[in-house]
Chains A and B, each alone.
Chain A
Amino acid sequence: MARYGLRTLAVVYLLFLLVLPVILIIWRTFAGGLAPFAEALTSPSALHAFQVTVVVAGWAVVANTVFGIGVSLLLTRHSFPGKRLLNAFIDLPMAVSPVVVGLALILVYGRFAPVGGLLESWGFQVIFSTPGMVIATVFVSMPLVVRALVPVLEELGDEQEQAAHTLGASRLQSFLRITLPGIRWALGYGVVLCLARSLGEYGAVAVVSGRLVDQTQTLTLFVEERFQNFDQPAAFAAATALALVAVLTLLLTKLLRPKD
């Protein structure tokens, strides 16, 4: 009896907190058929926001993938003083509020900050422009690839790599032929998580982008701006598109997740 009670409680809780809200918004978006959905997403503003999102998330994923592979190799294959500290710093972005991230970057790279002012005098604008949005996105999604790779690299061990070295393989060869094939699923898992987080980032990007419509507006900023301007169909359509990407991410991570 208790079993049915708990099961019902769990299912009802998830239904009302998670399932019904998401289904309702998808249903409302498609209530008028596919045409209004397509129309709302192909307006010039929406297309521009989509393009900005892809550029920012693309660069952030590339940066975090390179950094993630490098740092996880450092953490698992090398010994150096301060390793625990580096390990702790990698997780720091997870605990920082996205708005704090935005403020922190403005205080360093803004027009009136020393570093930002210097870069600006060289004609390189960071804040209220794409580089700042990329840095903000890199910040918030930094730990994801590292955390996906470290356990797998530890599990694999370095015996095969050592063997390759003794047989005369260069470090690049042993990385490409031995390490990379060993971590490819975990890497895929980390990259998918990082991409999802980058596409969906809102708070940090809202601060550093200046929220300039048709200039620095990403899809998540588009959702908010359209909703505040009482353009519900466009807000719902973009939200549904992002929700569908999230569901796709979920299925992909389910496939890629390391089985234990």
Chain B
Amino acid sequence: MTTDTARRPLSPPRTPGGEGRPRPRFSTGTATGLGVAVLYLSLIVLIPLAVVVWRSLDQGPGFFWRAVTTPDAWAALTLTVVASAIVALINLVMGTIIAWVLVRDRFPGKAVVDTIIDLPFALPTIVAGLVLLALYGPESPLGVNLAYTRAGVVLALLFVTLPFVIRTVQPVLLELDADVEQAAASLGASPFQIFRRIILPNLVPAMLSGTALAFTRAIAEFGSTVLISGNLPFKTQVAAVNLFSQIESDNTTGAAAISTVLLAVALAALLLLDLLQRWGNRRG
């Protein structure tokens, strides 16, 4: 092989799009690839989403506002935001604790626990709902029936958002140097002081990023809440389910209005997430 390459005449380094010429800023190969990618992305994602937003606004802001504030849509949106906020808070606390246990604690079976954390990402959402209904439904072996209640909605959202905080906090905790903590302990700091003054400030950006991701996911969630919530308007119907029933009854403009609100909340959360990550990078 070496002899073969040695015998080959040396050609000038090829750059895509032009031989010998100085590398252009934007080669034809790049342009073709970019064109195809943007077209594909536009046809599947961008144009459809733009049409949703346009359809929600094309009859004026008054119509948009009325569609969003119909009693059932408003109740569903409020429930979604409140339930998602509760779920995000529980995730903030429990996710951090679980990440802590997975990194700092040692016990038999820890590797198994670490693996199953990702199960909610792999499990279809409709199965997640069914599975929760089996343990916390009318036939509950524990005698706890959360079917058709708001607590059931929160439970479903907790299930599908479980991995977010854990998986963002875990790597940061792994990187954290235990030397500083030992130094603090040797200088007489209590475990609580060490946690508050040394560990927590390092973890906060990751904790908040994970919480923002969990919140975004909870706002958008549909499949897992379908079975356990029973979809009772004004009681357990979340925004995505309300949206679904509006699509089924061909109320396209109303459905587009709710979709736009959901998209706006998700984008706001992602923007916040981006800011949090930059803040974290600057501190790290």
Q: Which residues of A contact B (CB under 8 A)?
A: 2-3, 6-7, 9-11, 13-14, 16-22, 24-25, 28, 67, 70-71, 73-74, 78-81, 86, 89-93, 95-109, 135, 138-139, 142, 162, 165-168, 171, 196, 199-203, 206-207, 220, 223-224, 227, 235-236, 239, 242-243, 246-247, 249-251, 253-254
Q: How far is the CB of A139 from chain B (nearest CB, A)?
A: 5
Q: Is the interface of B mostly helix, strand, loop or mixed?
A: helix
Question: A6-B105, A14-B116, A201-B124 are contacts. A108–B48 as well, Cβ < 8 Å?
Answer: yes
Interface residue B199 (Cβ < 8 Å from any Cβ of A): no
The verdict on A168 contacting B8 (CB below 8 Å), with A104-B49, A202-B222, A203-B240 known, is yes
- Are B44 and A142 in contact (CB-based, < 8 A)? yes
**Count of chain B residues with a beta carbon within 8 Å of a chain A beta carbon:** 86
With contacts A73-B33, A168-B11, A200-B123 taken as known, whether A107 is within 8 angstroms of B55 at the C-beta atoms is yes
B208 within 8 A of A: no
Cα–Cα, bound, A201→B222 (Å): 11
B169 interface hit (Cβ, 8 Å): no
Q: Nearest Cβ distance between residue B25 and chain A, in whole angstroms?
A: 7
In the complex, the answer to whether B119 meets A22 with C-beta atoms within 8 Å is yes
Residue in B45, B116, B227, B243 whose Cβ sees the most chain A Cβ within 10 Å: B45
Contact yes or no, B124 A142, CB < 8 A: no
Cβ–Cβ < 8 Å partners of A102 in chain B: 247
B45 touches A93 (CB 8 A): yes
List chain A residues, Cβ under 8 A from B198. Answer: none
Q: How far is the CB of B40 from chain A (nearest CB, A)?
A: 6
Give Cα A249–Cα B141 distance, bound, in whole angstroms: 29
- 16 A-B pairs (CB sep. < 8 Å): A9-B97, A19-B116, A21-B131, A22-B123, A25-B130, A67-B40, A80-B26, A95-B270, A96-B266, A100-B262, A101-B48, A105-B48, A108-B48, A166-B10, A202-B222, A203-B222
> Which residues on A sit within 8 Å (CB–CB) of B178?
none
Which residues of chain B from 40 to 95 have a CB within 8 Å of any chain A CB? 40-41, 44-49, 51-52, 55, 94
Closest A residue to B38 by beta carbon equals: A86
**Of A80, A91, A224, which is within 8 A of B34 by CB?**
A80
Task: List, in ascending order, chain A residues with CB within 8 A of B97's CB.
Answer: 6, 9-10
**Among A2, A17, A18, A98, which residue has its beta carbon within 8 angstroms of that of B223?**
A98
> Which of A200, A251, A254 has the most chain B CB atoms closer than 10 A to its own CB?
A200
Distance in angstroms from A201 CB to nearest chain B CB is 7
Q: How far is the CA of A142 from the CA of B37 in the complex (A)?
A: 12
Contact of B115 among A73, A100, A168, A250 (CB under 8 A): A250
- Would you call A135 and B243 a contact (CB within 8 A)? no
- Residues 263-281 of B contacting A (Cβ, < 8 Å): 263, 266-267, 269-270
